[in-house]
Chain A
Amino acid sequence: MTDVASIVGIGETAYMRKPGSGLSLLGLQLQAAVRAIEDAGLTPRQIDGIMPFPNLGYAEGFAANLGCENLRFQSIVWMGGAAPVASLRVAGAALRDGLADYVLIPAGWNGYSGARARQTVAQDVSSLPGGAIARDYYLPFGFTAPPQWYSVMARRHMHEFGTRAEQLGCIAVAMRKHAQLNPNAVMNGRPMTLEDYMASPMLADPYRFFDCCLETDGAAAVVVTTPERARDLGKKPVTLMGAASGQPHPADEITNRKDIFRTGLTLAAPEAFGRAGISPRDVDFAQIYDCFTFEVLQQLEEAGFCKRGEGGAFVEGGRIELGGELPVNTHGGLLSEAHVLGMNHIVEAVRQLRGEAGERQVADAEIGVVTGWGDFGDGSIAILRRG
């Protein structure tokens, strides 16, 4: 198999709620970008490609501040939280075709101190997946936000396969345990038991409060280049073996899918594993986009780590915890580290594959998976290898 690209630089800001980052949306992301470029041993003048997160930045603004005077490639993948991982794949294609030599992929927001998602929906329908469809057919009935949209899928999964709240709780508890080993995790120092989880109030039944990701300030970034260029840089390279993205059908409306569990990842995962030439059994850890607990379970199924309907049993018994068969979200994820739009999942995967994850290091980690989930079920997946 031909390797797609290499990740050679990672950068993160501090992750926090109160008192907030004190930085602008762009300033926050620039801080992470500078760290990623330095980590790669590059200068901003060598960054000639930038792929911002949809609605959160423009390549021009990044380039003008960083001093990227040789910018020649920019692109935005409009897949919500699936964008960072999907951007890795697009960057790989751009690098291979010579559109750029070093691509910066930043993401971040003031998700706590800035405009909160629940407030913007009332003012800006264009920020919603589905746009006018959501405005005309969802919002009049109070179907206004992601935990509500996705919990309809979760309930259906419970009905069809007998998935239980305690099993969703196993996911929340695993993420929280991992956060105790991560000093930059917002929930570090705040452990949680399954009893705590079950006692947490409902938000959008079957989603409790602790099924839901954090709202935090923070940014992260990576720098991607060709495998050949990566060998000339100082860092231990992490190689993108295979990656793919996909969309459900229809992607702009979440209730009328013939098979409601067929999401973007259902399409993307076989393609990515095929390109990488490995199977899910070969994977040492997985960083799964965890906007809500059920989305972790559902993606584990659609990525092929277990069969559809078996996700509930799969996440039980510590299998997805550090020391288990498939550690998931070793940094604590969006649920317990911070909501950095999944870019923090990519950064953590790289850290694990470099052997730099400290107390939470997966022993001898060689191959890791990162997924993204966005909008009404857009999906992306990257399979990464050390070296």
Chain B
Amino acid sequence: MSQADASIPRPLPQLEGFAKDFYGHCKRRELRFQRCGGCGAWRHVPREMCPECGSWSWEWARSSGRGRVFSWTVVARALHPAFQDACPYAPVVIEMEEGVRILSEVVDCAPDELEIDMPVEVVFTDVTEDVTLPRFRRVAS
């Protein structure tokens, strides 16, 4: 690929609205999801209201940070120019103890070592001065 492609930066979340809050918590080393004030259901990605009970009341509740690998793909050939150099890499769907799933990655695990139901816990990576991404690492089962 050309130098021009390699110069395209990794995409970042736009820190506005709910994403500003979600990633703001990550910057403080806290993984928080919305939890409904009406029925108690956890949800991710953030929403204006609870699709389970219709309540507009919610809080940013702190997650245990623990979950299990639900599924993943191994990207052998990047389909976004900023990820050319990262291949192979694995976007992983983690199912958290609270029941919500989050798309992330497992930092200390080669793609061919991933297993469904592998227990993981959150870690945080500062990718820029403003943005901290929640990632995961393996824990003993």
Which residues of A pack against B, CB within 8 Å?
A: 117-119, 121-122, 132-133, 135-145, 147-148, 151-153, 155-156, 159, 201-207, 249-250, 253, 255-256
- Cα A220 to Cα B83 in complex, Å, equals 34
Contacts A148-B73, A152-B73, A204-B75 given: A121-B80 contact, CB under 8 Å? yes
B42 vs chain A, min Cβ distance (A): 10
Task: Tell me if B104 is interfacial: C-beta within 8 Å of chain A.
Answer: yes
Q: Check B80 against A118 for contact (C-beta < 8 Å).
A: yes
Task: Tell me if B109 is interfacial: C-beta within 8 Å of chain A.
Answer: no
Contacts A121-B79, A135-B13 given: A255-B101 contact, CB under 8 Å? yes
Residues of A within 8 A of B14 (CB): 132, 135-136
- Cα A255 to Cα B92 in complex, Å, equals 10
B45 in complex: contacting residue of A119, A133, A141, CB < 8 Å: A133
Q: Check B133 against A144 for contact (C-beta < 8 Å).
A: no
- Cα A147 to Cα B111 in complex, Å, equals 17
- Cα A159 to Cα B116 in complex, Å, equals 8
Q: Check A141 against B74 for contact (C-beta < 8 Å).
A: no
- Cα A133 to Cα B102 in complex, Å, equals 12
Give per-residue flags for B18-43: 1 if the beta carbon is below 8 A from chain A beta carbons, else 0: 01001000000000000000000001
5 A-B pairs with C-beta separation under 8 A:
A140-B133, A142-B91, A148-B91, A159-B71, A205-B73
Q: Check A152 against B93 for contact (C-beta < 8 Å).
A: yes
Q: Check B80 against A136 for contact (C-beta < 8 Å).
A: no
A298 vs chain B, min Cβ distance (A): 14
Task: Tell me if B53 is interfacial: C-beta within 8 Å of chain A.
Answer: no
Give per-residue flags for B76-104: 1 if the beta carbon is below 8 A from chain A beta carbons, else 0: 11111111001011010100000011111
Q: How many residues of B contact A (CB 8 A)?
A: 42
Task: Tell me if B12 is interfacial: C-beta within 8 Å of chain A.
Answer: yes
A359 vs chain B, min Cβ distance (A): 35
Residues of B within 8 A of A121 (CB): 79-80
Q: Check B133 against A141 for contact (C-beta < 8 Å).
A: yes
Q: Check B70 against A256 for contact (C-beta < 8 Å).
A: no
Q: Which 3 A-B pairs have the closest CB atoms?
A: A145-B79, A205-B74, A139-B11
Residues of B within 8 A of A143 (CB): 73, 91, 103
- Cα A135 to Cα B127 in complex, Å, equals 16
Q: Check A256 against B100 for contact (C-beta < 8 Å).
A: yes
Q: Check B70 against A156 for contact (C-beta < 8 Å).
A: yes
Q: Which residue of B lies closest to A252 (CB)?
A: B45
Q: Check B45 against A139 for contact (C-beta < 8 Å).
A: no
Q: Check A202 against B78 for contact (C-beta < 8 Å).
A: no
Q: Check B71 against A155 for contact (C-beta < 8 Å).
A: yes
Contacts A156-B71, A201-B76, A204-B76 given: A119-B81 contact, CB under 8 Å? yes
Task: Tell me if B139 is interfacial: C-beta within 8 Å of chain A.
Answer: no
Contacts A159-B71, A205-B73, A253-B45 given: A141-B80 contact, CB under 8 Å? no
Could you list 18 further interchain pairs (A-B, Cβ under 8 angstroms) beyond the known A141-B105, A153-B71, A250-B51? A117-B79, A118-B79, A121-B80, A122-B80, A136-B13, A136-B14, A137-B13, A140-B13, A140-B133, A141-B103, A144-B78, A148-B79, A152-B72, A152-B73, A152-B91, A156-B71, A156-B116, A205-B111
Q: Check A203 against B77 for contact (C-beta < 8 Å).
A: yes
